Every structure is written in structure tokens, then in C-alpha cells.
Amino acid sequence: MSTSQKMATLAVPVSPTDHRDGPAHAPVTVIEYGDFECPICRAVEPSVRQLRELHHEQMVFVFRHFPLEDAHPLALVAAEAAESAAAQGKFWPMHGLLLAEAHPLNRHRLEQFAQRLGLDMARFRADLDDEIYRQRVRDHQEGGRLSHLRATPTFFVNGVVQDVSGGMHDLFDLVSGEIGRALRR
């Protein structure tokens, strides 16, 4: 396999422990590696949400953490907060809050989000204090590194990286094309 092929493919396949939205047997899988402090991740989130709504029946969307800690010092704890929320059945609502607005992230803001979602606050605080979900986030980061990620957001469609530097329309077009091909089979 050439270096360019290695760079273009997903190293860690989707597993039952991934955060998924959509039918398990969908013909198209879109994976986003993201960072909750990344301004570009926040900027594309409305488009991602639109893509998920548009193709909800034919696409499964997976989110994986790739906090860029050098540039975004609170991205790691934000990812851990999302994992803590996931343990209480609220990953996607927390994901939405973390990416919804351009706000400075800090511990107080994360606790406000947890309260807004009705999480068990003692458990949430203990999870963050004890770094219960740090290894899970590190596992996502390692999968990203093995897939040669350098930036967020990075999207994979059916295991192949999709360049969105020219805009999200390329991602929409690719997903629509993949769904069309799958339906014609």
C-alpha cells in the first residue's frame, strides 16, 4: 500500500463503542474527528447537522474525539465532559451544546451544560476530577494519528478521508453519491 493510500483511509473501523447516530446497517458511514474548541468544527456544525438530518435513514454518523491540546487547552476536558454525559445517556445533547455557540470553555461552563442536561452532577464532577474517560479520548486520538490526522474537523466517508477545505458541499455530494450507488445495487 502506498503512503498516499495509507493517509487516505481510516485506521480504526467503527465499533459498537463509537458514538453513532443513524441506522446501524446504513449504506454510508460518515466519521468526524473533532475538537470541541476548534472554531472550524463549530463553524461546520450546522452543515454537519443538516447532513445528518438530510440522510438520517441512509447514513450513520460517528463522532470521535481529536482534541488539539496545544492549540485548544480545554478541548481534552470538554471531550471528557462529553464522555461523562454519554455515560448518562446524553452524548449527543452534550455534543450539540459544546459545538453550538462560540463560548470560552471552562469547568464552570461544562458544569452549566451538564446541569442544563439534567446530569447527575456529583457523578459528572467526579468523572472529570478523576479523569475517568481520559483513556477513551486518548484512544480516539491514537486512532486519528494512525489515520494520519493533523487537523480538525476531519471526515471519513466509508473509510476514506474527504477533503472539506473547499467547503462542505463536497462532503454532501460524496454522501449523496454513495447513497445513490448503494440504492442502485
- How confident is the model at residue 15, as a pLDDT? 94
- How confident is the model at residue 57, as a pLDDT? 94
Strand partners, 162: 155
Identify the residue whose cell numbers are 452532577.
Answer: 121
CA–CA distance, 175 with 38 (Å, rounded to integer)? 24
At 42, the amino acid letter reads: R
Q: How confident is the model at residue 114 (pLDDT cuts 50, 70, 90)?
A: very high
65: three-class secondary structure by DSSP: strand
Domains held by the chain: number? 1
10-to-31, 98, 148 alpha-carbon distances in Å: 9, 25, 9
Full-model pTM: 0.93
DSSP tag of 9: B
Of 54, 107, 130, which is closest to residue 115 (Cα–Cα)?
A: 107
Q: Give the CATH number of the domain where residue 85 resides.
A: 3.40.30.10
Section 70-78 average pLDDT: 95
Percent of the chain scored above 90 by pLDDT?
A: 87
Which domain range does residue 108 map to? 3-184
